[in-house]
Every structure is written in structure tokens, then in C-alpha cells.
Amino acid sequence: MVVAASVVVAVGTVTGMIRALDDERDTNTARPDASGATLLVPLPDVPSVSNSPSAKASSSARPKKTAATGAVRKPRRTATVTVSPRLYRHPESQVLDWVRAHPDDPRTEVIADRIADQPAAVWFADFTPSTITSRVRAVTSGAAAQDRVPVVVPYAIPDRDCGGASEGGADDFDAYDAWIDDFAAGLGSGEVVVILEPDSIAQSDCLSDGQRADRFAALARAGRVLKAADPKARVYYDAGHSDWNPAGQQASLLRQAGAASAASSDGIFSNVSNFHATSAEIAYDRQVLAALGGPAGLGAVIDTSRNGNGAPADGQWCDPAGRKIGRAPTLDTGESRIDGYLWVKLPGESDGCKGAAGTFTASYAYDLAR
């Protein structure tokens, strides 16, 4: 199954992504579950929404600005949503642009609280070698100034997405290697989480044996370059998700791509741009890690941005209805070998069905968040 990742080509733009709740709660608060992770609980419906920019929600209270978004916001109808004290939220994204431009839309409060205020990954999906170092540095230096950990996504592997909705990337591996060198030069010296090329391993069956070998060699090199440039960088490799390849098969592919080597890897990531329940991903990732071998310290991070209701029964992956955002981003999961729950795919940014891949749709974001 192809998992379309969000593509953003504007300089400095975030393509953060957020996953859904694993269970429903009977109160309208954010609270920790047994593992210490924060869950975002569903909200009641709001009045019907007008598509007009001038549409206003009914409220007799005075609106106020939020420091997080700079948008005028109506008084909260919900308890404060917990935000990770460690992860970085880049101040530019499509969802933040929408929130700032629509202070009076009745959906704005929910989208701002539940999505825009949460830390999310920053994607580098356009192949622009001349600016990649400065753009990465802008994110990592911004995070360092706040003593936070950024999550960055290099997404420019040749033959990306096998020609699907998120196609693109470098023309060849020489160009890709040079791009990775420039990417690494922007990392700085602080902590950073690198989600290295979503779908690049799980989806490699579209390639010939020779093409696959070239891709895996480039990924192994990329991990080494990134970790050498910043010893505090944590680099994670593509494990697909729990309903894609069997754990043993995926581990074999990961091993060929360098994911079992401490010189290039800190472990694996799963569920990026998908919807599988966190519990299923935890079990799957542990199976992959066990089969992978390598240092005992290898761990996994899980994209929880849209997995609150789990995956659709029919296997639909492209903007399926009925999904919800999931566990809030954190690097403290309370689960062995699970290093973090991250929002890699920003809720509301399309997989390619509700809009072009990577474009933001407020109605989609609101349905996921409420």
C-alpha cells in the first residue's frame, strides 16, 4: 500500500502530521493514560460552519490573542490541551496560516488548540540544493533557542513514492548524496529527530533489484552523514506500518539499508501518514526491532497524528472519513523501546484525495480534531 506523504515546497514551511485517539474518553479534558502519554479527547459539535471568511461563532465574551499563533481566538470551550515541553513547534505551517487568516471561523478554536498548537515535523520535500542548508538551519536554530527538540523529515529520495501522488525527489543518487550532505550541514549541534525518507524502504518493491540496492546504499550513507554531522541527531528508518510488510521481511529490508548499524541509525519509525492504532504499532515495532538485531539501544517512534480511531476496515489510506487525531506528541512514552509518539503528518493536510497532496483543508482538519 502506498502511503502518500505530505509535500510542501514553500521555504520554511512545516508539514507536521498528527495521529488519532486509540480510545474514546467520557470527559472533555486532556489527561494521561496508563503509560503517561497524553490523549486528546473528542469535543462536542459546534454550530454549523459557513464557508464565508466573515462567518462568526456566537460568543458574548471578548476575543483574545494567543501567543502561540498570533490569531484572535474566542474563549476556550475546552480544558487546556497538554503540549510537549521538549518538542519544537515551528512557527510556520499551513494550519497556522489558516488559523491566523480565520479568527472568526467557528472551527478556528478547535483547529488551533488541537492541531496548530502542537509540535509537528518539518518536511523538506522540494529538491532545492541551493537553500537546503539554510532552511534546515532555520528550524534547528529556532528549536535550540527555545531549548526544544525539532523533528525534521528529509524527503527527496529518487523515484519517491513510486510515481504516486507524492512523486518527486532528486534526479539521481549523486544529486541525492550531495543534498544530504547539505541537509546535514544545517543540523547544528543540538538534539534533533530525523525521520529519514518515509516509504523509502517499505515501498521499495516498485524498484528493480539494482535500483533497490542503490537506494539502500544511499539511505545507509545518509544516516552516517547525518549522525556524523551532529552526534546528538537521532536518525530513524522507515518500517512502514503494522499492516504492510511482515516484521521479519521489513527487518531484512531495514538491515540492508543500514538501520541496524549504530553508525547510521537510532532505530525505526512507523505509521507515517497512516492510521493504525498505537497499540498495534508498538507490538509491530518491537517485533521488527527484535528481528532487526543491532545495538540494544535501537528504538522506534510512531506517528500518532491521525490514528485515534484506528485504520479503516477497508484499508483506505487516502484521506479516509471517520478518522481522529491521536496521542499528543511526546518523547516520554513510558513504553520500552518506543522512543516517541510524533506528529509527522499534520492533520488537515491531504494525502492526495481531498486536495493535492500536502494541501491544507480546514473541514478535514476540523473533522479530525473535534
Please give the positions annotated as active site: 161, 199, 351
Of the chain, the end-to-end C-alpha distance in Å amounts to 28
- Contact between residue 95 and residue 346 where contact means Cβ atoms under 8 Å apart: yes
Residues 6+ apart with CB under 8 A from 16: 89, 90, 93, 95, 118, 119, 120, 121, 122, 305, 343, 344, 345, 346
The rounded distance, in Å, linking the Cα atoms of 54 and 87 is: 34
Mapping DSSP onto H, E and C, the string for 259-311 reads CCCCCCCCEEEECCCCCCCHHHHHHHHHHHHHHHCCCCCCEEEEECCCCCCCC
97 — phi, psi (to 5°)? -60, -45
Q: Is 154 helix (H, G, I), strand (E, B) or coil?
A: strand
Please give the DSSP secondary-structure letter assigned to residue 349.
B
Up-side HSE of residue 70: CA atoms within 13 Å toward CB?
8
Residue of 240, 289, 295 whose CA lies nearest to 263? 295
What cell was used for 214? 542503490
Calpha distance 115→65 (Å, rounded):
17
